[in-house]
Amino acid sequence: MPAAARSTVPLIVSPAPEWPHRVLDVAALRADGWRPTPFRDVVLKVHQRCNLACDYCYVYEMADQSWRSRPTVMEEPVWQAAARRMAEHARAHDLDTMRLVLHGGEPLMAGADRLERLIGDFRRAFDGRTRLDVQIQTNGVLLDEPMLTLLRRHEVGIGVSLDGTAEDHDRRRSYANGRGSHDAVDRALRLLVEEPGRASFAGLLCTIDPDTDPIACYEALIAYRPPTLDLLVPHANWSHPPAMSGPTPIADWLISVFDRWYSAPRREVAIRLFDDLLALVLGGTGRSEQVGLSPVAVVVVETDGAIEQVDSLKSAYEGACATGLNVLDDPFDAALSHPGVVARQIGVEALCDTCRECTFRDECGGGHYAHRYRATNGFRNPSVYCADMLKLVGHIRARVLADLHQLSAAETA
């Protein structure tokens, strides 16, 4: 094994927090009949660096700086081990599908040759019983026609990060020299808007800024006709709270977009956050990490092969994602017993008393797990965005219930 493939990163730099690491009794849960949900998504950190310097990035700008001492790019023995572990996991749990998400840093910095070999090795690792879906999440700057042709050939869905209007995007998502990246992203998206690139377009990801015009942002995003849209709340927690202008700026921004989207004469785009909240209000389940109580079935593999929890936890503290496992030595099943993974899969049992007693418990689900962190006790707290979540969920519930009442009245008239 090349030396570059082995991690020099300490497994836990900061002390493990009380919840869940020192309190959650996984053995007792299993003895009582609880069983973990197998991983469905594997996020592969194919490149550790990025060609942008986004000011809100949780990888480079927040608590966990482990990227500094990891290999810059994933080497072949590591990705081949990850492919074997992923196929092994699929067979062990008889999964019909799994999803591989190529991520970074900026994954396109790995280069066309490396990406082609990597994708091919993952495809070959699966025997046909489980369908492997492959997706890449990119800032779009390096997406040109040759790269798009390669990704289309390997049936890779392409998600692109875009933060609204050109002015708003460039203010947050710039190169290290301060120059904005919108023009480059716009060029990439124009390749995806029309055929043959259209079939590869998986959607847009936008980190919201409550100081921007929400409707202008939304309309700038849907101008590219994305099939899906992810609206992400900026990462923050009780130990590193967000800079807020007003009591509920996140909710106010999202409610403006929701009302515009919900009232449109036709469905303009699938917005995962809103679709999930609508499903939850109606008694269904969601798929988003931001809301609801569904088990999180995502695992991350870093460039050195480390098996980690979802990387949004890097916003909490140094080593928050670590499990102490590596694909070179360990199966993914081993991570299913890690307290941090288990805490994301036990629903109501992971919530603090305040959230358990909340009228919006099942829809909100305590909010994003990373946003609950407090250095003194860990992750058993309400979200730092609790007031925003209550206002947003309450607004959506009220609109849905009013519409259902109106439909019911019309049917009985």
pLDDT digits (tens, 9 = 90+) for 59-93: 888 888 888 899 999 999 999 999 999 999 999 99
As a whole number of angstroms, the distance between CA 37 and CA 66 comes to 28
Once rounded to an integer, what is the mean pLDDT over residues 188-214?
97
End-to-end CA distance of the chain: 74
Contact 368, 289 (CB under 8 A): yes
Say yes or no to pLDDT of 374 above 50. Answer: yes
Going by C-alpha positions, the residue among 33, 12, 10 that lies closest to residue 22 is 12
Q: Is residue 3 part of a domain?
A: no
As a whole number of angstroms, the distance between CA 270 and CA 286 comes to 13
Contact 304, 45 (CB under 8 A): no
Question: Taking the CA of residue 381 as centre, how many other CA atoms within 13 Å lie in the half-sphere pointing to its CB?
Answer: 19
Pairing of strands 201-207, 228-232: parallel
Where residue 14 falls among pLDDT bands split at 50, 70, 90?
A: low
Say yes or no to pLDDT of 10 above 60. Answer: no
Q: Is residue 1 part of a domain?
A: no
Which run of H or of E encompasses 216?
Answer: helix 214-222
Going by C-alpha positions, the residue among 157, 168, 177, 180 that lies closest to residue 107 is 157
Q: What SS3 state is found at 340?
A: helix
Give the pLDDT of residue 9.
Answer: 42
Q: Is residue 191 part of a domain?
A: yes
Once rounded to an integer, what is the mean pLDDT over residues 88-99?
98
Give the pLDDT of residue 301.
Answer: 98
CATH number at residue 301: 3.20.20.70
Give the pLDDT of residue 3.
Answer: 36
Say yes or no to pLDDT of 11 above 50. Answer: no
Give the pLDDT of residue 67.
Answer: 81
The token duo for 368 is: 């994003």
Burial class of residue 409 (count of CB atoms within 10 Å of its CB; 0-12, 13-18, 19+): exposed
pLDDT digits (tens, 9 = 90+) for 146-189: 999 999 999 999 999 999 999 999 999 999 999 999 999 999 99
Give the pLDDT of residue 111.
Answer: 98
Pairing of strands 131-138, 156-161: parallel
Q: Is residue 5 part of a domain?
A: no
Tally of structural domains, the chain: 1
As a whole number of angstroms, the distance between CA 169 and CA 242 comes to 19
Give the pLDDT of residue 335.
Answer: 98
Q: Is residue 69 part of a domain?
A: yes
Contact 272, 229 (CB under 8 A): yes
Q: Is residue 7 part of a domain?
A: no
Q: Is residue 238 part of a domain?
A: yes
pLDDT digits (tens, 9 = 90+) for 293-351: 999 999 999 999 999 999 999 999 999 999 999 999 999 999 999 999 999 999 999 99
pLDDT digits (tens, 9 = 90+) for 231-283: 999 999 999 999 888 899 999 999 999 999 999 999 999 999 999 999 999 99
With pLDDT > 90 as the criterion, what percentage of the chain qualifies?
87
Going by C-alpha positions, the residue among 352, 351, 323 that lies closest to residue 339 is 323
Helix axes 214-222, 249-262, angle to 10 degrees: 50
Distance of CA 340 to the CA centre of its chain: 16
Tell me the residue range of the domain where 264 lies.
15-412
As a whole number of angstroms, the distance between CA 293 and CA 279 comes to 12
pLDDT digits (tens, 9 = 90+) for 378-409: 999 999 999 999 999 999 999 999 999 888 88
Q: Is residue 6 part of a domain?
A: no
Say yes or no to pLDDT of 6 above 60. Answer: no
